[in-house]
Structure 1
Amino acid sequence: MNILFLKKVKKAIFLYSLFAILFSCTDKEAYQEITENEKLEVFYKKELNKTINFLSESLDNNDLESKKERYWNARESFKTIEPILAFLDYDNYNYLNQANLLKVDEEDATAIKIKKPVGYQVLEEILYDDQFDDKEYQKVAKQTIQRLKFVEKNHTLDFVKPHHILWMLRDGFLRTSLVGITSFDVPQDSQTINETIWVYNGIKEIIAIYKSFFNDEKVFSNWNSNIVLIQEKLSKVQFDTFNYYKYYKEDVFPLMRIWKHTVKDWEVVFPFSQAIDYDSENLFSDSTFTTAYFLDRLDYEKLEEEILLGKMLFEDKSLSKGNAMSCASCHQKDLYFTDGFAKSPKTNRNSPTLLYASLQKGFFHDKRTGSLEGQIIDVVENPNEFHSSLNHLEEKVKQNQNYIIDFKEVYNQEISNENIRKAISAYIASLNKFNSKFDKSMKSNEVLLTEDEQNGFNIFMGKGKCATCHFAPIFNGTVPVAYKESEIELIGVPATNDTINAKIDSDLGRYNLFKTEQRKFFFKTPTVRNVEKTGPYMHNGVFSTLEEVVDFYDNGGGFGLGIDLEYQTLPTDKLNLTKKEKEQLVLFLKTLTDEL
């Protein structure tokens, strides 16, 4: 008989026996005899089966309110094991938890795929639609159940090591704190706080299962006491009045410190780096992020010599055809690395700031390149910019004796266009300051923000829905905590600042790359750090003030101006911000201005 088949049968019998022991009798000693990984798998599979069963029950129930109740029961089990599922299978986690927006896969230009969304968020919107469509609910629910059954059948946790558990824990509480708690993945705002509590339930369970891994009992108890305190606080607040400012300072950062103590207590050495540095105790510091992760350079070290070399290249006009321009021509330090124009000369788009540009996974307004070095290549070869080539670039640099000496000292190699790109990238990566008034306040024991500025941050994260696209702490569209994808959105930017006869801007954005109809007018979500200094705003520079930008979003984007776009990703509902709330929101945005 096939050995692999026997192993599968043996594992199936083992898990069935565990379920029988754990949930059909009270034999605690039997539970204690199995390994922690086996306990974790039992917990994981139990919650998976619960979410499957609750969704299945919702199919058979004709009462809408009962359907909703079963749905939320299913959602609770799903969120409880979110830290485990997202670690085990990020793609299936995203599939089950994706927004109710058309999915367009353009990774391969020869085989572009358009997919209708499936999963919990889609089901939620169907359930709460004014015209409930039971047929559509049945269809999506069955697809979701089918994927859940696939996950349940194919996932195992027998390979898990201590560093995997630590990844689950940190990613779990950071994901729910940066994304989940903003209502990013729950259309019903009223459930946002509950979902966060459910995730913390899952984290508590993981901690309890691996209690024997702790050498210091105090570290273990700190986990439990802090999570219980967080959950107690969350149970007493509402989404619209939630204080994100205090939550990060009083709850999230202490958990980051406890996690760091756990790493030391367990004596764990991680096999590779992640986007957020393992030593980080604060999300708003210049040491929060691992630059090498974003640059895709395993050899990257923050070397002053490389940065200075990159700065010289960045400001050198001789590298372009006819000595006409340098990188600094369109990205001027005095203008916070923009050029101040609505549209840069010889281009049809606004020049985005390079501050924090390295902390993303997509570049240019249309996200046509996936790396910082790719952006540099595009600029060199663009006829409206350097109008040159990589070979010409390399030859120009080699003609400068100072460069020859500097490249030898920095790279211990001859000049190459690869190292030219590395140097410029290193300089751009050095522009992530994290020294704004907001950052200083988040890092300090003192409260440096005024009450209005704090309220503005809370509006940004909550009622204003800004943080569902501009994710803290970078405040751009690169999605925490995996930081694998920078989002593009259709918000309906008008051609002119005319609110009466508004028309969509003629720039088709992402569509120009692959001619995908469903990507017309899509543009990358930029950072709003230093936004006070980087106007005019939007890809076409149509808005001159932050107040105009806030009004645009408050009205529901292009839809609110009468621009009807089938695939607008920005919610079309008005935010209904008060005059005071708009003022506070702008005040907060101004606290994101760095000291250069």
Structure 2
Amino acid sequence: MKIIKVLFKISFVFILFSSCKKEIKQSNKVVSVNNDSMFNDEIRQYYFQTLDSTAHYMKRIDTLKSIEENRSNFLESRKWYKYAEPLLIAYDYENYLSMNAPNLLKVEMEDATEIKKIKPKSYQVLEEYLFGDETISNRELYRVYYYLQVRIPFVRRNHIIIKQRDRHHLKMIRDGIVNIATKGITGFDSPILANSLTDAVYNYETIKKIIYIYKNTFKNHSLFTQWITEIDNAISFLKSSDFDEFDRYSFIKHHTNRQLELINNTATDWNIQLSQSRALNPTSTNIFSETFFNKKMFSMPHTPETTEERVNLGKTLFNDKALSISGTISCATCHVKEKAFTDGHKLAIGLDGTPLQRNSPTLVYAMYQKTFFYDGRASELEGQIVNVANNENEFHIDLNTISKRIEENPKYQRLFDSVYNGQINHLNVRNAIATYIRSLTPFDSKFDRNMQNLEKTLSKEEILGFNLFMGKAACATCHFPPTFYGTVPPKFDETEFENIGITRTVDFNHAVIDEDPGLYYPFEVEERRHFFKTATIRNIALTAPYMHNGAFETLEEVLEFYNSGGGQGLGLDVPYQTLPSDPLNLEKIEIDAIIAFMKTLTDQEY
């Protein structure tokens, strides 16, 4: 056994650091703009080697072996999986999602006749089974590890690293860097062992390997040296402390953002351009900047270009009460700018003062979601507007009547002439309002400005709060930076829903589950009862009361609820709760720090 382990380690070191002879042999390889990468073979071989090692140790897990031996083989397999992870994310994302899934039932609901309930079979599940407190049957353990034993060789056989171009490999590096900062160092996929920092080291070793493969292509050789120095520094930083004490603020500010700069410099050096048709802006060098996202990719296909004129028209429509049947409410009735586009009420107020079903969510940064409303019943902002117009307790008006009212207003005739070539119809009306909402992404809070090096004003308490939020308190495993919504990095193509067992009131000593069924409807799926979309914490100091039912008035109450382990932690029967029920054991000084950090996310204009 020891001989095999030594051979694997020697093999990895050999492939990770190219020999002088190999570098000479590759000296005639160059980066290409329009052709397949000359480095595909070598990158593919490295990918194979990591997957083969991943599979080797997974194959050694067996119900007939001791728990100690299975744990040891799991850790070795997972280490090699983490070496492969940046390539999996880039070139086999669906298998990455499957192999890295949290230990939560996945329910896919296309329509009432096609509802799939999928039990996960992933590394996260296996970690909980092998290292958790609960006793797991051999049959259940076998179900998970056997799937991985079969799946990993399948991934290798069906790889697609064949015709990639060099820009694809550079984007792979970039996505790997973003994934580490926004999800990897949060504990998202190491729920029991909290091995996230070590996992990030393995990810960086692979990024370093790819950079070494491209060593002789750098026109500016000092850029290659900068890369290696920066990766080594990032790895040293990751190894410098344990999970709870890790300074994520400094890591992202001084390492992640520096690495994004190196991506840009490398693209220039190689004379290539990264694709503009993805969720992230490839030229952005700061995760907490408004330029980080590619806004076009968070809009409907063929959406008209965002212009100042369209934003201003949308703002006017947003505030116009004539768009409701009674002429008494507008979008701004429930979304007040001074309250970060919420309304301060426990439940939103509709026509004739009628309380609506749920609390008014903020619209700031709302565009960076893939579904809208707490129950996700709209898939884009334009669709959300349709729902509000048709709701009998809200605007209660059909879209054609809205268009007619606008058409009869001379002011709007002039505006639509200049913005939409005089075409007043519900499509353009909805687009204008949605365009205004999409403009509400300032990224100019105190925290953002510190991350952007525009000021140096964060206190030690506020920085501690961010580090706790991203680490020990596990908040960022659902509220992903930089938007702190539930939209999942690094692709940002899915918005998560969670069941945290929200109570009806803040009386935690006599807790009662809130009756709102959430995602249970429209298909009546019991496994989705009480699920709601993860909201953002940006501008949270202005958006009380909190939760879909407005049950909590203060951030202290919110933190007390989470610190208790949600509904289950309070003793409620919440069968499909996604929030761990174990207490977080946060001390008062830590809770105060987290709240102090969250208050730094208030944008200056609010």
TM-score clears 0.5: yes
Question: Which residue in the other structure is 2:4 paired with?
Answer: none
Contact 1:362 1:370 in 2 (8 A): yes
Question: Which residue in the other structure is 1:295 paired with?
Answer: 299
Question: Which residue in the other structure is 1:403 paired with?
Answer: 412
Per-residue deviation, 1:459 = 0.7
Output the CA distance in 1 between the equivalents of 2:449 and 2:481: 15
Show the 5 A alignment for 1:152-551.
152-298=156-302, 300-345=304-349, 346=354, 347-444=356-453, 446-551=455-560
- 1:483-534: CA deviations, max 9, x gaps? 1111000001111221122111111011122211100000000000000100
Per-residue deviation, 1:418 = 1.2
- Whichever residue aligns with residue 82 of structure 2, its letter is K
Contact 1:31 1:39 in 2 (8 A): no
Alignment identity in percent? 42
Contact 2:15 2:46 in 1 (8 A): no
Per-residue deviation, 1:392 = 1.6
Output the CA distance in 2 between the equivalents of 1:400 and 1:206: 61
Q: Which runs of 5+ in 1 are unaligned?
A: 1-18
Per-residue deviation, 1:441 = 1.0
- 1:296-355: CA deviations, max 9, x gaps? 345554411110000011011111112131111110112221111100123121001111
Contact 1:532 1:589 in 2 (8 A): yes
- Whichever residue aligns with residue 239 of structure 2, its letter is S
Shift of the 202–413 alpha-carbon distance from structure 1 to 2, 3 Å rule, reads: farther
- Whichever residue aligns with residue 525 of structure 1, its letter is T
Per-residue deviation, 1:286 = 1.9
Secondary structure in 1 aligned to 2:396? coil
- Whichever residue aligns with residue 129 of structure 1, its letter is G
Secondary structure in 1 aligned to 2:373? coil
Question: Which residue in the other structure is 2:51 paired with?
Answer: 48
Output the CA distance in 2 between the equivalents of 1:173 and 1:271: 17
The correspondence for 1:82, drawn from 66, 80, 85, is 85
Per-residue deviation, 1:471 = 0.5
Secondary structure in 2 aligned to 1:112? strand
Output the CA distance in 1 between the equivalents of 2:451 and 2:604: 16
Output the CA distance in 2 between the equivalents of 1:289 and 1:357: 13
Per-residue deviation, 1:550 = 0.4
Per-residue deviation, 1:260 = 0.8
The correspondence for 1:98, drawn from 87, 98, 101, is 101
Per-residue deviation, 1:89 = 1.7
Per-residue deviation, 1:139 = 1.9
Secondary structure in 1 aligned to 2:326? helix
Shift of the 190–509 alpha-carbon distance from structure 1 to 2, 3 Å rule, reads: closer
Per-residue deviation, 1:168 = 0.3
Output the CA distance in 2 between the equivalents of 1:363 and 1:292: 17
Question: Is residue 586 of structure 1 aligned with residue 595 of structure 2?
Answer: yes
Output the CA distance in 1 between the equivalents of 2:488 and 2:194: 23
Per-residue deviation, 1:285 = 1.6
Per-residue deviation, 1:60 = 7.1
Output the CA distance in 2 between the equivalents of 1:212 and 1:300: 43
Secondary structure in 2 aligned to 1:325? coil
Output the CA distance in 2 between the equivalents of 1:197 and 1:41: 21
Secondary structure in 2 aligned to 1:494? coil
The correspondence for 1:129, drawn from 125, 132, 139, is 132
Secondary structure in 2 aligned to 1:148? helix
Per-residue deviation, 1:413 = 4.8
Alignment RMSD, CA only?
2.0
Output the CA distance in 2 between the equivalents of 1:557 and 1:443: 34
- Whichever residue aligns with residue 54 of structure 1, its letter is Y
Output the CA distance in 2 between the equivalents of 1:532 and 1:542: 16
- Whichever residue aligns with residue 114 of structure 2, its letter is A
Output the CA distance in 1 between the equivalents of 2:212 and 2:421: 51
- Give TM-score, length-normalised by structure 2: 0.92
Secondary structure in 2 aligned to 1:107? strand
Output the CA distance in 2 between the equivalents of 1:75 and 1:310: 50
Contact 1:456 1:584 in 2 (8 A): yes
- Give TM-score, length-normalised by structure 1: 0.93
Question: Which residue in the other structure is 1:64 paired with?
Answer: 67
- 1:144-195: CA deviations, max 9, x gaps? 1212122111113121101211210000011011101101011134411110
Output the CA distance in 2 between the equivalents of 1:251 and 1:321: 54
Question: Which residue in the other structure is 1:113 paired with?
Answer: 116
Per-residue deviation, 1:32 = 4.0
Secondary structure in 1 aligned to 2:506? coil
Per-residue deviation, 1:223 = 1.2
Output the CA distance in 1 between the equivalents of 2:183 and 2:99: 16
Secondary structure in 2 aligned to 1:511? coil
- Whichever residue aligns with residue 218 of structure 2, its letter is F
Secondary structure in 2 aligned to 1:255? helix
Output the CA distance in 1 between the equivalents of 2:152 and 2:424: 53
Output the CA distance in 1 between the equivalents of 2:45 and 2:166: 18
Output the CA distance in 2 between the equivalents of 1:303 and 1:193: 43
- Whichever residue aligns with residue 309 of structure 1, its letter is L
Q: Which runs of 5+ in 2 are unaligned?
A: 1-11, 30-37
Question: Which residue in the other structure is 2:561 paired with?
Answer: 552
Q: Which has the higher mean CA deviation after the structures are superposed, 577-586 or 284-293?
A: 284-293
- Whichever residue aligns with residue 85 of structure 2, its letter is E
Secondary structure in 2 aligned to 1:500? helix
- Whichever residue aligns with residue 127 of structure 2, its letter is E
Contact 1:61 1:67 in 2 (8 A): no
Contact 1:330 1:337 in 2 (8 A): yes
Shift of the 61–184 alpha-carbon distance from structure 1 to 2, 3 Å rule, reads: same
Output the CA distance in 2 between the equivalents of 1:318 and 1:438: 38
Output the CA distance in 2 between the equivalents of 1:246 and 1:30: 35
Q: Which has the higher mean CA deviation after the structures are superposed, 391-400 or 564-573?
A: 391-400
